[in-house]
Each structure stands twice: as structure tokens, then as C-alpha cells.
Structure 1
Amino acid sequence: MRKILYPFNFIVLACLMILLSSCSSDDPTAPGGRQPGDRAIVVDHNCTNLSLIPEQAIISAKTNLHIAYGHTSHGSQLITGMSGLIDFKGVLYSFNNGGTDSCLDVRDRPFSGASDLGYPDRTAWEAATRQYLDANPDINVIIWSWCGQVSPASEADINTYLTLMSGLEADYPDVLFVYMTGHLDGTGLGGNLHLRNEQIRDYCRVNNKVLYDFADIETYDPDGTYFGDKIPNDNCDYDTDGNGTRDGNWAIEWQDAHPGEWYDCISAHSQPLNANLKAYAAWWLWARLAGWSGS
């Protein structure tokens, strides 16, 4: 291999650039902490085909991940969906607290001092995360959900969320932190919820973050039919004819047309199919975090 000799001033400049690039920043758009890959991992409606996830990727997730998940009612759709999936598809998809008996280790609602990303306020979850990680160094995945608090959020509120997440990533570089959008609320593409969710999405894409796109999953049925321009809400209700009234429900309609292709389960504020899709996407997320390429 040919050796290239660089001028001394070039070497000094390169060293300065490296030092500057490693400095922390108060800018919420500055990435922090260890990244799971060279590009963002975005888990959305394109990631709900469970059959595409290799069995070995599922096993790898169960072997390597130790997950702590903070949520309230809307976020429980992941857990109740995953619970129902075990009966629907088998013990390959089993999980429990601690990861015993070849299960995925999911510590469900283990935090003290905060329930979700917005309760009791918009910052308590960060201190609760630090406290839990310091006491449980085996945890390598942190995921929190919203429960309605993105809908009234300001741009500054979301920047607070992004800044706190970035700080955690910097301080706990061996932990993967999963960002999340807020559930649909019926305000449509012109509503504040959509703007704030787009703020989260843009940040995650630009800064190579891991995003579980809760809202996007609620915007499509399993056939890929898009309902985002029909003022859909978290119950999967939508406007069928553009008159401003939600008079259809895409989840119920799909369930009725596809008997045997979905499973009944608890789905807070919504329909079973929504929790089914959240569970499929959750397993896609776990597989990606454990090293699967997604293809």
C-alpha cells in the first residue's frame, strides 16, 4: 500500500476539526451519543410485515436486548399487541420482565417519577431515565411514548424533548434511545400535531436517530391504503367523503374483510388491528436494534 505523507499544517487542521466535532452542543439538532448505524432507523407503516423479519433476527433481539419502556394508555398498544401476538404466531415472539425462558427482556413501565413523555410534565421522564439506567446498567434500549402531549406542544416543547434525548445519548453511549411521534388526534395534515410530528421526524432523519413512528403506523391499513388526508384519529376513524365528518373506520373495515388475518387484543383508545400493527412494528424495531439490516 502506498504511504501518503501529509503536510504538518494539514495534520494540525485535521486534529482541530476532530476536537471541535466532538464537542457537545446546546443545539437540539446536534446528534449525541452512540448511533445504531450510519443512517437513521425509521420504523413506520412500511415495517409492519412480520413475515419479512427473519427468525434469526428475532432470536438475536431476544438474546441481546434489554429494553425499558415507559408509557401510559396509548403506548400500551405495543405491549398488549405483543402479548396477543404470542397466541397468534407462537412463542418465538414471547417476552417478559427479565428475559427469562428465552424471552425478550422488556421492563414494562419500570420508571419512578414519570409515566410518559408528558406526565407529570415534559422533563420528568429524563431524570427518571437517568435514575433507572444508573441502577440497571444491563439496560441497553430506552423507549418512551407520548399520550396526547404532542397535540398541544409548541416547537420549543419538542426541542426540549429532542435536547433531553440528545443529552441522554451523550451520557449513556452504550444505550440505544428510541424516539417516538405522538398518536393521531383527528386534526389532519394542517394541524399542530402533524407539524410537531414532522419536527421529530426531520430531526431523526437528519441526525441518524432511531424513530418509532407511532402516528405513521396509524395512518395506513395493512394493504398500504393511506388515510392521512382524511383527518384520521387514534381510533382509526376517518372521513370517507371529504365532508369533514369521520364516518368510517379503516381498522374495522379491514378486520371485517380479512377474517383470520388479525387477532383480537386490548388496544387502548383504538381497535385491535392498530395494536397488531404496533406489535409487528415493535418486533421490526427490536430486530433492527439487534443488528438486522431491515431487508
Structure 2
Amino acid sequence: MKLSLLLLGFFVANISAAAIIIDHNSVANFDNIPSQWIERAKTDLNLAYGHTSHGSQIVTGMTMLRNQNSLYNYTTGSSGFLCDGGMSGAYDLGNPNRTAWATATRNYLNGSGANRKVIMWSWCGQVSTATSSDIANSYLANMAQLESEFPNVKFIYMTGHLDGTGETGNLKIRNQQIRDYVIANDKILFDFADIESYNPEGTYFPNETDACAWCSTWCSSHACPTCSSCAHSHCFNCYNKGKAFWYMMAVLAGWNEGASSDTTPPANPSGLTIR
């Protein structure tokens, strides 16, 4: 029995160490989230989110879901589940420059945000013009430094929104640089660009922009929720990002969609004697 428990512990540890990628697949699997994991996320986690207009698409999507179902109600403000824009000194990952967000985060976590468990920043359009060094040194290195300073905080990495430059454009290359780092180092990624790139049937739109033309096409023949405004884009794009957000929070709270509900330890490996 001891060996079985050790093997189970090893298996769980490897799951928890893997990178967490939140993308269009998360949107597709949104309805699989058990309600108790949404409640657990709201109870056990709290988030500070720094963003400008493009990043507001996630919050708009959260509002759309909240309007549909009270399960997705959440509190806001300095003591709420979501502190929206409370990290003074920067606006997003590239405004006023490419590093101010790191100082703003550090000051926040050392001050009024000391109780925050999750930190997320979004880009506006700055990934489109970023160099490899910008991503490696101004973004990834600063994220790693913050993670080392605040080991009990979960930091969410993010890709930049689509800009229509396609498979060979700088945006795709720089976004892939972020993805590769996240996967290699077992980080957490909200893949903003990937969510914009696929419709609900899984069709890929490599040359799409942040306006989400496929959203308009899809909603012309399918029922889609509406909103008062989705910054730079279509309401369905915001809605999908809201779904992806709650999927992410459920996973961070401990939900594992692929795990069996059976808690029985694994069978003894053949040929081994358990004492």
C-alpha cells in the first residue's frame, strides 16, 4: 500500500508541475466545469488584473456570463475577488513602457495587494512590435523575477491580440516565443491570440485580427449573447474570453478535467511485492 500511495503522489505531482495553457480548447470545454470549482475559485483565489482596452475584453466576457448565470457573480475592489486596475504605476504590459508593470506589481504585492493570490497583466498591441529581446528580457525575465520574489502568488502569462499579419508575422513569432517559454518552464498562459483564432467548430483563422470577423460570420447563423460594447472587437470574442477566464480559475483552484473521479490508489505494478 505504501508503494501505491507513493506512486499516486508522484503522478499527482507531475500533473501539478505541468504548464497550464488556457486557449480555444478551454472555451470549448467550458461547460464541463463543475459548479463547485467555480465556487472554490471565488472562495480560495483572488486576482489583481492590469490592463487597458484590449484586456478589458476578459472583464466584459465575465460580465456577460454573470448576466446569464448568478454562479459567475463575483466581488470587486481592494478586498474582492477581482481587483481591476489596482496596480498603480502602469497601465498594461507595454504602457507607459515595457517594464513599468513589473515595478507596479512588486509595489502592489509589497503593499495593499499583499493578500492577492493571482496576478495577471494583458498587452494592448505591443507584442506586434516587440523584438525577441523585448519579450525575453523585458517580459519573461521580469515575470521570472517576480515569481522568485513572490513564490506563493500565481502569475498569468499572456499572448498579444491578433493583428492580421498571419503565420509569418512578427506577432505570431513573438507569441510563440511566449508559448514556448511557458511550456518549457511549466508556467500558466492565457493565450489571448489563440482564443481569437478558432471558431466553436475548431476552424482556424490564421489571418484574423482582433476585430474577429469570424465572430460576425458565426453569429449570423448561430445564437450568440450580446453586450453593450466589446473593446475593438465583437461581443462573442469577449464572451469566449470570459469563459476561458473561469476555466483558468477553476483549474488554478484545483480542478483537473482529465482526472478520474475514482480516488482509489493505482494497482500494484506487476512483479512488485507490497509490504
TM range, smaller chain: 0.7 to 0.9
Q: Distance in 2 between matches of 1:190 and 1:150?
A: 14
Q: Alpha carbons of 1:43 and 1:98: their partners in 2 closer, same or farther (altered >3 Å)?
A: same
In 2, are the aligned partners of 1:47 and 1:281 still within 8 Å (CA)?
yes
1:208 is matched with 186
Q: Partners of 1:36 and 1:116 in 2: how far apart?
A: 31
Is 1:271 aligned to residue 234 of structure 2? Answer: yes
TM-score by length of 2: 0.85
Pair 1:131 & 2:107 matched: yes
Using the alignment, how far apart are the partners of 2:67 and 2:42 within structure 1? 18
Instruction: Please list, as runs of the form range in 1=range in 2, the aligned pairs for 1:80-99 lying within 5 A after superposition.
Output: 80-88=60-68, 90-98=69-77
Q: Residue 73 of structure 1 aligns to which amino acid in structure 2?
A: S
Preserved CA contact (<8 Å) 2:48 2:118: yes
CA-to-partner distance for each residue in 1:3-40, whole Å, 9 max, x for gaps? xxxxxxxxxxxxxxxxxxxxxxxxxxxxxxxx992100
Task: Give the match's secondary structure for 2:25.
Answer: helix
Greater than 6 Å deviation, 4+ residue runs: none
**Structure with the greater relative contact order (CA < 8 A, sep ≥ 6): 1 or 2?**
2
Q: Contact between 2:77 and 2:84, CA under 8 Å: does it hold in 1?
A: no
Looking at structure 1, the residues matched to 203 and 221 of structure 2 have their Cα atoms a distance apart, in angstroms, of 14
Residues 120 and 164 of structure 1, relative CA distance in 2, 3 Å threshold: same
Match of 1:232 among 201, 204, 208: 208
Using the TM superposition, give the Cα deviation of residue 98 of structure 1 relative to its aligned residue in structure 2, in angstroms.
4.6
> C-alpha distance in 1, partners of 2:150/2:257?
25
Aligned position for 1:7: none
Structure with the higher helix share, 1 or 2: 2
Written as runs of structure 1 = structure 2, the 5 A alignment for 1:1-295 is 37-49=16-28, 50-88=30-68, 90-98=69-77, 105-135=81-111, 136-160=113-137, 161-228=139-206, 231-236=207-212, 249-259=213-223, 261-295=224-258
C-alpha offsets along residues 18-67 of structure 1, whole Å, 9 cap, x if unaligned?
Answer: xxxxxxxxxxxxxxxxx992100000000003211110110110111110
* Local SS of the residue matching 2:88: coil
Q: Distance in 2 between matches of 1:182 and 1:124?
A: 17
Change (3 A) 1:158 1:47: same
CA shift for structure 1 position 257: 1.0
Instruction: Assess if the C-alpha contact under 8 Å between 1:147 and 1:182 holds in 2.
Output: yes
Instruction: State the alpha-carbon separation in 2 of the partners of residues 265 and 117 from structure 1.
Output: 26
- Segments of structure 2 that go 5 or more residues without pairing to the other structure are 2-13, 259-275
State how many pairs are aligned.
244
Distance between the aligned counterparts of 1:115 and 1:193, measured in 2? Answer: 21
Distance 1:36 1:141 in 2: 20
Change beyond 3 A, Cα 1:95–1:278:
same
Q: In structure 2, give the amino acid aligned to 1:158.
A: I
How many Å separate the matches in 2 of 1:203 and 1:226?
Answer: 23
Percent of counterpart pairs with the same letter?
50
Q: Match for 2:136: what amino acid?
A: N
Residues in 1 aligned to 2:38 and 2:15: alpha-carbon distance in whole angstroms = 17
* Closer/same/farther in 2, CA of residues 99 and 62 from structure 1, 3 Å limit: farther
Deviates more, 1:46-55 or 1:115-124: 46-55
Deviations 1:98-130 (A, max 9, x none): 598xxx700001011100000000000000001
Counterpart of 2:264 in structure 1 is none
CA contact (8 A) 1:64 1:290 kept: yes
Name the CA distance, whole Å, in 2 between partners of 1:179 and 1:83. 22
TM-score calculated relative to the size of structure 1? 0.79
Structure 1: gaps spanning 5 or more residues: 2-34, 237-248
Question: CA contact under 8 A between 2:92 and 2:123: conserved in structure 1?
Answer: yes
Measured against aligned partners, the alpha-carbon deviations of 1:59-112 in whole angstroms (never above 9, x if no partner) come to: 110111110000000000000110111112x11001221598xxx700001011
Mapped contact 1:81–1:266 kept (Cα < 8 A) = no
Contact 2:59/2:242 (8 A) holds in 1 = yes
Contact 2:78/2:86, CA 8 A, preserved across alignment:
no
Tell me, in whole angstroms, the C-alpha distance in 2 between the residues paired with 1:133 and 1:149.
Answer: 25
Partner Cα separation in structure 2 for residue 281 and residue 68 of structure 1: 17
